[in-house]
Structure 1
């Protein structure tokens, strides 16, 4: 299993830095985010150092997303949030701060709970034809 000696999440996996571990198996680890944006804010990471979604191995992603619903339901059962955001930032422009893939589970407790996540509606800028062109351009890379 490869690790980056300067990566804080790799140090957590190697138990060089303490963490409040919620779940762990051979492939992934989940722990309480130190920032606790909202109560129950949890991170799910691969144990192997994989920088971002672009580098995430398919088998790792498959395992990680098998665990994700279990973790989400544990948060739901324990804290009864109004909702839950799953957030993954990739690259500096997308606000990735730790360059080790991680998925945030952010429980939501109403609109004024301290977490803001907005999407601008640009639908008037794209016709059905323009959306199909986008889809066709992406399809050729799959």
Structure 2
């Protein structure tokens, strides 16, 4: 993929490969924001080979993703000391995927941020306030 920002990490300014292994990279941006809030340490785990969605990963890539996720958590815990995490895959356009190279969001969460306590269930609640 010639124009894929995860296949060609040099296409994105201020993007850093922070950690990696044989099959995956952990990418971070200098200014990564979630809902307008700077969440220090946030990044993405992406396979080195172009895979459109998480369902396309090989078993070796799944294992490498898990292994790298453990390293990423240790790194973020030591550097930023978050109070929690959100992890997530968006697969296909209708589910919110906008970059069609599989990527796992790793988002550290902090007690003092505006969306603290608002995890995935918060966004899944219906208008009737029914728990997801």
Q: How does the TM-score come out when normalised to structure 1?
A: 0.72
| Structure 1 match to 2:98 | 97
Give CA-to-partner distance per residue, 1:48-89, whole Å, 9 cap, x none.
Answer: 001112211121111111111110121111111110111111
How many angstroms does 1:16 deviate by?
5.0
Q: What is the aligned counterpart of 1:9 among 6, 11, 15?
A: 6
Q: What is the aligned counterpart of 1:30 among 26, 32, 35?
A: 26
Question: In structure 2, what is the Cα distance between the partners aligned to 1:22 and 1:36?
Answer: 14
| Structure 1 match to 2:114 | 112
Contiguous gaps of at least 5 residues in structure 1: 123-142
SS in 1 for 2:85: strand
SS in 2 for 1:40: coil
Q: How does the TM-score come out when normalised to structure 2?
A: 0.77
Of Structure 1 and Structure 2, the greater strand share is in 2
Contiguous gaps of at least 5 residues in structure 2: 34-38, 126-130
Larger radius of gyration: 1
Range moving further from structure 2, 30-39 or 40-49: 30-39
Of Structure 1 and Structure 2, the greater helix share is in 1
The answer (yes or no) to whether the contact 1:33–1:43 under 8 Å persists in 2 is no
